[in-house]
Structure 1
Amino acid sequence: MPVPLSPVLFTNAAKRMIQLRWLMLLAAALLLGLLFWQGVVLPWGLCIQALATLALINLALAHGLFTALLHIHALALGLLADVLVLTEILALSGGAANPLASLYLPPILFAALLLPARFAWGLGGLSLLAYGGLFFWHLPWPVAGGDAAYAFTLHLAGMWLTFALSVMLIVGVVSCLSRELAGREAALAAAREAQLRNEQLVALGVQAASAAHTLSTPLATLSLLSDELSDAYADDPELAEDLLLMRQQLAQCREGLSRLRHDAEPASECLPLFDALATRIAGWRALRPDVVLSWQGRHSGGPALALDNGFWAALFNLLNNAADAGGGKVELEVALAAGSLQLTIINREGCLSEAQLERAGLAMLPSGKTGGMGIGVLLSHVTLSRLGGSLTLCNDQAGGVRATLRLPLMEMAG
C-alpha cells in the first residue's frame, strides 16, 4: 500500500523524483556516448529522440507546466513516461535481451510507495505487457563486428550496471522517505503532546474561572468579618496581630483573583527591562518576606519593552517552587545573551529524578515540594513556549535544582 504522505512531504517526494530523473537522463546520455565510442551500432536518432522526450516531460514537471494536474497526477505522469521511454530504448537495442530491462522495477516500486494502489497495479501491468512485447518487437541486439564473446561481455556489464542503478535508486528514495516519515512521526508526537497540554490548560482555565467566581463572595464576607473582629478585639494585642495577618492573607487572595483578568490582557507600557524586573521582584519579595533571594546580574537599565503579563506569572511560579524546595533560599542570575533575556533560578536543596526531568513541563506531575514539580512548572513551560522562549530544568552540580528561562527580546516586545 502507498505511504500516506502529507502534502508537504508528497511535494518533496515529487521534487526528488524529478531530480532522480535528471540524473538518470545524464547517466543514459553518458552510456550512449560510451557505446558510440565503442562502435556499437544503434539507431542514434531514435535513441536521442526518446531521451529528449523524457527530458521535455521532466522539464515541464519541474516548472509546473501541467498546472491542471494535482501533484499526485504529475508524479504518476512522470513514472508513466519513465516506463514508456524505457520501453522505446529497449525496443531499439535488443528488446528483452537488453540487461537494462530490469530498470522497469524502480518506477513500479516508487509507484507502490507513493501512489494509490490502482495506479501501482496499472503501471506494473503495463510494464509486464511492455516487457513481454519486447520478446517479439525489437531491433536486434547490437553486436560490434559480429563478435559474440564481446556481446556477452557487454551483456554482463549491462547487468551489473543495471543492478547498481537499481540499488542506488531504491536505497536513496526509500531512505529519504523513511527519514521524512520518521520526522513526521516525531512532529505528530510533539503535536499530540502539545494538544494534551493545551487540553489540560483549558480545563485548568475553566476551573480557575469557576473558582474565582465562587470565591469572590466568601472572600468579601471574610474580609468584612475580619474588619469587624479587629474593631471588636482591638484591646487584645495578640489577637489583633493574628487578625492583621488574616486581613493581609485575604488581601493577597483578592489580589490573586484580580490578576486572573489582568494577566490575560496584553501589556501596553514599555519600561526598561531590568527596571521592570527589579520592580516585580521587589513586589514578590514583599509577598514572600520569608525568602532570602540572592540576585546576580543587572538591576537596572536595558532595552525598553512591553513585557507580557504571562511572563511574570511564569517567573513567579518558578520562584515560588524554588523557594519552597530550597528552604527559603533562592539564587537568581540575570543576563542578556544572544539577544535573549536569560534568567537562572537555583535552589540548593533537593534534586529531580530522571522521570521528573524527562516530563518536566510536559504534564502535571505529583509534587512533594522538595522537587517543586507541580502544576506551576507546566504553566510556566507553556507560557514561555507561547512567548517564543524556553524553560529547561536540570540538577545543579553544586547541589539543588537549576531552572533556566530564555526569552527572545523581540518576542517580548509588545
Structure 2
Amino acid sequence: MAINTDIVSIRQGASAFDETNVLNETGHKNMLHLIHLRWLAVGGQIATILVATWGLNIQLPLFQMLSVMVCLIAFNIGSHLRWHEERVVSNRELFLAMLVDIASLTAQLYFTGGINNPFVFLFLLQVILSAVLLRSESTWLVVGITTLCLAFLSVFNHPLVLPLNSTYKLADLYASGLVICFVLNAALLVIFITRIGRNLRAGDATLAALRQRAAEEEHIVRMGLLASGAAHELGTPLATMSVVLSDWKRMPQFANNADMLEEIEEVESQLIRCKSIVSGILLSAGETRGESSAKTTLHDFFEDLVQEWESSRPAQHFEFNNQVEEEFTVAFDSTVKQMVFNVLDNALEVSPNWLRFDVSKNQEHLFLTVTDQGPGFRADILEQVGTPYNSSKGRPGGGLGLFLVMNVARTLGGSVQARNCSEGGAEVRIVLPLSSLVVQDGNLENQAR
C-alpha cells in the first residue's frame, strides 16, 4: 500500500507539472497577442496624430506624445525579444504588461484633452482583455487602476485647442471620435477575443487530455501492482507443480505408459510457459534486475520474438517480413516484446487463418505493423482506440490489450495507430523513435536512462 501511494503521488506530481506547462504555454500565446495589439496601438496613435495635425490643424504636444510612443515601442521590442525565447508567462507578467498599456494610454490622453477625448473609452478594451487573460483578483485591480486613471484625467489634462479658423465644432469632433473609438473597440475585441478564446479552448483541451492520460497511467500502475503481486503468489504453486510433474515422470506406472508420459510432458511444457509469463511480468516490473533493457541486435531480437510467439500459438499462416536491411545494436525493454505479443494475440484471435507482422523504419522511427484478415474495428471502437475497456468482445476486462500497448509505446516516446484496411481486416502500427532504442558506442547504461 505504501508503494502504491508513493507511485500514485509521483504520477499526480508529474500531472500537475504538465498542467502547469500547459497553462504557461497558453499564457505565452496570450502575451504574443498583447504584443501584436500593442503594435496596432502604435500604428493607431501615429495615424491619429497625422490626421489631427495635418487634416484638422490641431496643435498637439508632439514631443511629449512621441516620447510616450517611443517608450511604448521600446517596451514592445523588448517584450518581443524576451518572449520569443522565454516560454513561461505567469499571470503577474501579463498583469504588468497590461499596466504598461494602461499607463501609455493614460499619458496620451493626458496630453490630448483627458476625459473629454472620446478615445478614453479604450480603457474598456483593457478591462475586457484583463477579464479574459488574468485571474479575477488581477482583473479587479485593473478595474481599480483604470478608474483611478479616469479620475486623474478628469482633473488633470491638457485641453485640446481648435484653430480659430476651423470649420469643425468640438462637439462634431467628439461625436466622430466616439464613432471611431467604438469601431476600434468592437473590431479589436472581435479579433483578439476570438484568438484568445481559441488559445484558452486549446489549453483546456490539452489539460483534459493530460488529466485523462494521468488517470490512465494511474490505472496502469494499479494493474501493474496487482499483476506483480499475483505473479509473486503464483510462483510457489507453479514451482510445486513442476516438482510433482518431475516426480510423476520417474514413477514406473507413468514412465512405462507412453500416452500418459506424453500428456505429462504436454502439461510440463504449458507449465514452463506459465512460469515464463510470470517471469515476464516480474521482469517488466523491474523486480528481477535493476534495469529491464537488454542489449541485442535488431534482427536477432525480432527473429527470437517471432520464433517464441509462433512456437506457442496456433497460427495457421503467419508471415514475418523484416524490411530493415542494416543491422544495428538496440536496447529493447522486455515490455516491447510483451507489447508486440499483445497485438499479435489480438490479431490471432480475430484472424486465426492469416496474419502478417512487418518491421520497417525510416530515418527517425521504427514501425512494427500487424495486419489481419478479421472483421476490422467498429467505427466507435476505432474512434477511441487505446482507451481502457474499449472492446467489442463483450467480456469483463476486455479492451485492456491495446490500452496497455498504447501506454507502453507512449512511455517510449512513440505512438500506436489503428485503421481498417480497404481490402478487409485491420492494421495496427506501433511507431517507436529510434533515438530511444539504438545504442550508440555500446553505452547501454546511458541509453537505458
TM-score computed with the length of structure 2 as normaliser = 0.79
Secondary structure of the equivalent of 2:389?
A: coil
Q: C-alpha distance in 2, partners of 1:78/1:407?
A: 43
Match of 1:383 among 385, 408, 411: 408
Q: C-alpha distance in 1, partners of 2:262/2:245?
A: 12
1:192 is aligned to 2:211: yes
Amino acid at match of 1:30: A
**Equivalenced residues, count:** 404
Match of 2:31 among 8, 11, 14: 14
Q: Residue 67 of structure 1 aligns with which residue? A: none
Moved more, 390-399 or 131-140: 131-140
Q: C-alpha distance in 2, partners of 1:60/1:293?
A: 63
Note closer, same or farther for the CA distance 1:56–1:399 as it changes in structure 2 (3 Å cut). Answer: closer
- Whether the 8 Å CA contact 2:381–2:392 is kept in 1: the answer is no
Secondary structure of the equivalent of 2:359?
A: strand
Q: C-alpha distance in 2, partners of 1:220/1:156?
A: 94
Q: Residue 45 of structure 2 aligns with which residue? A: 28
Q: Residue 176 of structure 1 aligns with which residue? A: 195
Q: C-alpha distance in 2, partners of 1:147/1:256?
A: 95
Q: Residue 51 of structure 1 aligns with which residue? A: 69
Cα shift at 1:35: 2.5
| Unaligned segments of structure 1, at least 5 residues | 65-69
Amino acid at match of 1:266: S
1:262 is aligned to 2:248: no
Cα shift at 1:325: 1.6
- Whether the 8 Å CA contact 1:14–1:71 is kept in 2: the answer is no
Q: Residue 236 of structure 1 aligns with which residue? A: 257
- Whether the 8 Å CA contact 1:58–1:78 is kept in 2: the answer is no
Moved more, 143-152 or 286-295: 143-152
Moved more, 317-326 or 126-135: 126-135
Cα shift at 1:313: 0.8
Match of 1:311 among 302, 312, 336: 336
CA offsets per residue over residues 356-394 of structure 1, 9 Å max, x none? 222322213456399x96322222111111112211222
Note closer, same or farther for the CA distance 1:406–1:54 as it changes in structure 2 (3 Å cut). Answer: closer
Map 1:261-340; keep pairs closer than 5 Å. 261-263=282-284, 264=286, 265-271=291-297, 273-298=298-323, 301-340=326-365
1:403 is aligned to 2:428: yes
- Whether the 8 Å CA contact 2:373–2:426 is kept in 1: the answer is yes
1:360 is aligned to 2:385: yes
Cα shift at 1:318: 0.8
Q: C-alpha distance in 2, partners of 1:118/1:374?
A: 46
Note closer, same or farther for the CA distance 1:181–1:260 as it changes in structure 2 (3 Å cut). Answer: same
Note closer, same or farther for the CA distance 1:262–1:188 as it changes in structure 2 (3 Å cut). Answer: same
Q: C-alpha distance in 1, partners of 2:215/2:366?
A: 28
Match of 1:166 among 182, 185, 199: 185
Cα shift at 1:293: 0.6
Output the aligned Cα RMSD. Answer: 3.1
Q: Residue 253 of structure 1 aligns with which residue? A: 274
CA offsets per residue over residues 18-60 of structure 1, 9 Å max, x none? 4422331232123213322222222323323443454455566
Q: Residue 349 of structure 1 aligns with which residue? A: 374
| Unaligned segments of structure 2, at least 5 residues | 1-19, 83-88, 439-446
Note closer, same or farther for the CA distance 1:58–1:239 as it changes in structure 2 (3 Å cut). Answer: same
- Whether the 8 Å CA contact 2:315–2:348 is kept in 1: the answer is no
Secondary structure of the equivalent of 2:192?
A: helix
Note closer, same or farther for the CA distance 1:119–1:373 as it changes in structure 2 (3 Å cut). Answer: closer
Q: C-alpha distance in 2, partners of 1:221/1:412?
A: 38
Secondary structure of the equivalent of 1:361?
A: coil
Amino acid at match of 1:241: E
Secondary structure of the equivalent of 1:105?
A: helix
Q: C-alpha distance in 1, partners of 2:214/2:90?
A: 30
Match of 2:162 among 143, 155, 170: 143
Cα shift at 1:296: 3.3
- Whether the 8 Å CA contact 1:356–1:373 is kept in 2: the answer is no
Cα shift at 1:281: 0.6
CA offsets per residue over residues 291-316 of structure 1, 9 Å max, x none? 42122343864333222221111001
- Whether the 8 Å CA contact 2:390–2:400 is kept in 1: the answer is yes
Cα shift at 1:343: 2.2
Q: C-alpha distance in 1, partners of 2:394/2:329?
A: 36
Q: C-alpha distance in 2, partners of 1:223/1:132?
A: 90
Cα shift at 1:290: 4.3
Q: C-alpha distance in 1, partners of 2:200/2:68?
A: 35
Q: C-alpha distance in 2, partners of 1:298/1:220?
A: 41
Secondary structure of the equivalent of 2:255?
A: coil
CA offsets per residue over residues 299-346 of structure 1, 9 Å max, x none? 864333222221111001111111122124212223223432222212
Moved more, 331-340 or 402-411: 331-340
- Whether the 8 Å CA contact 1:193–1:362 is kept in 2: the answer is no
CA offsets per residue over residues 130-158 of structure 1, 9 Å max, x none? 44565565444443443344656644543
Note closer, same or farther for the CA distance 1:134–1:353 as it changes in structure 2 (3 Å cut). Answer: same
Secondary structure of the equivalent of 1:233?
A: helix
Amino acid at match of 1:236: N
Q: C-alpha distance in 2, partners of 1:226/1:292?
A: 33
- Whether the 8 Å CA contact 2:110–2:158 is kept in 1: the answer is yes
Amino acid at match of 1:242: E
Secondary structure of the equivalent of 2:332?
A: coil
